[in-house]
Amino acid sequence: MIIIGEKINGTRKMVAKAIQDRDTAFIRQLAEEQAKAGSTYIDINAGTPPAREPGDLVWLLENVQAACDLPVCLDSANPEALKACLEIADKTPLINSVSGEKTRIDGVLPLALKYRTNLILLALDDAQGIPETSDGRMDIIQRLVDLALDGGLTQDQLLIDPLVTAISTGTENAVIAFETIRKIKVAFPMVHITSGLSNISFGMPLRKIINRTFLAMCISAGMDSAIADPCDKDLTGTLLAAEMLMGKDRYCMNFNKAYRSGRIGA
């Protein structure tokens, strides 16, 4: 599983304050704990206005690089901020993200191609927003994968986000995500599939139970990455159990190791 640790996100109040105050210790702590908990990438999202974002995102990147050995996931649509980070990143980042929107294709895709980064592709565009059907989402994904491969990236460098909408606003919304995941696996066997988990449960009680169950069901449909909090032991336990049950954990080694080291369990 490719785990993208989501905790350094400026939409969270504590992180916004740490960015404002340049609280280096706080950000380094978040990077370190997510690295220890098994992250593959550390997501950084400054969530600040465009004029401040390049400086803020570079500051976050410098602190993550000082705190751990993991590459970052650059969670920004701002070409200036992305470029500044790509110039100083010491490991190949993951760019989050390019969609079918013209501003992203013109402003972000060329940076991913130039720096040969890994790249998240989102199933939405200017004309349709997020399509209501899995076939509508596949049309956009097909176009974006073609652009990325024509530009020299490999399938293995791509993570596709089928995009998740709230179950409270549409009975079929999780099913559409499962269908999209299955179709991506058939069309592009070597790409990775990722998703955030919290959109599914907007407007519902007991959100963590819904998020965790959704994660297990996405993994069973073929998802092999998640944007999540790896320090959440219940969530990580569900993730490792689902992966093991899918036949992707030889001798149950990952699950047992995580249990023995205290990453999962009470």
CA-CA distance, 156 to 142, in Å (whole number)?
15
76 lies in the binding site for ligand THG (CB under 6 A): no
Q: Is 120 in the site for ligand THG (CB under 6 A)?
A: yes
Of 97, 134, 225, 238, the residue at the interface with ligand THG (CB under 6 A) is 97
Could you please report the per-residue DSSP string of 115-180?
HT-EEEEES-BTTTBS-SSHHHHHHHHHHHHHHHHHTT--GGGEEEE-----GGG-TTHHHHHHHH
Return the number of the residue (9 or 142) whose C-beta is nearest ligand THG.
Answer: 9
Does residue 173 touch ligand THG according to CB under 6 A? no
Between the alpha carbon of residue 161 and those of residues 170, 205, 232, the distances in Å are 19, 25, 22
User: How many residues are recorded in the chain?
Assistant: 266
Here the tokens at position 137 are 């989402």
Near ligand THG by CB under 6 A, which window of 51-59, 111-119, 190-198, 251-259?
A: 190-198
Our finding on whether 196 is near ligand THG (CB under 6 A) is: yes
DSSP class of residue 46 equals -
**125 belongs to the binding site for ligand THG (CB under 6 A):** no
Region binding ligand THG by CB under 6 A among candidate stretches 16-24, 175-183, 194-202, 215-223: 194-202
Per CB under 6 A, 134 contacts ligand THG: no
Binding window for ligand THG (CB under 6 A); candidates: 102-110, 138-146, 195-203, 212-220: 195-203
State how far the Cα of 239 lies from the Cα of 1, in Å rounded to an integer: 9
Greatest Cα pair distance, the chain, in angstroms, is 51
* CB of residue 195 to ligand THG, shortest distance in Å: 6
Question: Of these, 65, 96, 118, 180, which contacts ligand THG (CB under 6 A)?
Answer: 96
CB of 45 to ligand THG, least distance (A): 6
Q: Shortest distance, CB of residue 83 to ligand THG, whole angstroms?
A: 19
Report the C-alpha gap between 115 and 190 in whole angstroms.
21
* CA dist., res. 114 & res. 164, Å (int): 29
Interface pick for ligand THG out of 1, 2, 6, 125 (rule CB under 6 A): 6
24 binds ligand THG (CB under 6 A): no
DSSP 196: B
Residues that bind ligand THG (CB under 6 A): 6, 9, 12-13, 75, 96-97, 120, 161, 195-196, 198-199, 227
